[in-house]
Each structure stands twice: as C-alpha cells, then as structure tokens.
Amino acid sequence: MNISLTPELEQLVKDKVSSGKYNSVSEVMGEALRLLEERDACGGLRLRIRDKRLAELKAKIQVGIEELERGEGIDGEEVFAEIEEDIRRAQAQMQQAEAAK
C-alpha cells in the first residue's frame, strides 16, 4: 500500500522514527492507526453517554411538565428564596469552620 502525506506529516513520521521510539515508518503508521481506532471507539462511547444523558434529561423535563399541568409546581420565587437561604447557611458554616481553626 502506498500513501501520500503532506510534507509536514512526512517530517513528523521521520522525526518519530529518528527519536528512537519507533523502529520504522510502518511502526509509526501502525500506532497512528491504532490510536485513530481507539479514538473512534471512544467517540462512539461518548455519543452513547451523551444520548443517554439527553434522554434522561428529556424524561425529567416531561415529569416536570406533567407536574405543572396537575398544579403541583412550586413558585419560582419560593424556590430561589430557599436556594439563597441554603447558600447563606453554607457560607455561615464555612465562616464558623474557618474561625474555629
């Protein structure tokens, strides 16, 4: 098999062989193809994980929509007030812990 490389890639392959890490151009190309295959396999895994997370998020959104339609929602201002209170409590605890040191 013959392949054509840009001058930059050809120099990269030569540099890899010259470094002593690889014994031949074939070894460099073999390693490059192995890494490409590994990357492609990981890319597929990343896509499956992303698709799973997206499906879970869509399901949670649907549950929320259904709860709102049943009148089970919580007022947004109330939620933010609770969050702000939680933050104030956490900050106070951190300040107490720092003062106790």
pLDDT of residue 74: 86
Q: Give the whole-angstrom CA distance, residue 2 versus residue 17.
A: 18
Looking at the structure, do residues 18 and 41 belong to the same domain, yes or no? yes
Looking at the structure, do residues 20 and 58 belong to the same domain, yes or no? yes
Looking at the structure, do residues 16 and 56 belong to the same domain, yes or no? yes
pLDDT of residue 84: 97
pLDDT of residue 2: 86
Total count of domains within the chain: 2
pLDDT digits (tens, 9 = 90+) for 54-89: 999 999 999 999 999 999 988 889 999 999 999 999
pLDDT of residue 65: 93
- Token output for 44: 């597929």
Looking at the structure, do residues 88 and 39 belong to the same domain, yes or no? no
Looking at the structure, do residues 66 and 79 belong to the same domain, yes or no? no
pLDDT digits (tens, 9 = 90+) for 31-58: 999 999 988 888 788 888 899 999 999 9
Domain enclosing residue 92, as ranges: 75-100
Q: Report the predicted TM-score, pTM, of the whole model to 2 decimal places.
A: 0.46
Looking at the structure, do residues 4 and 37 belong to the same domain, yes or no? yes
Q: What angle do CA 48, 49, 54 make, to 5 degrees?
A: 95
Looking at the structure, do residues 32 and 13 belong to the same domain, yes or no? yes
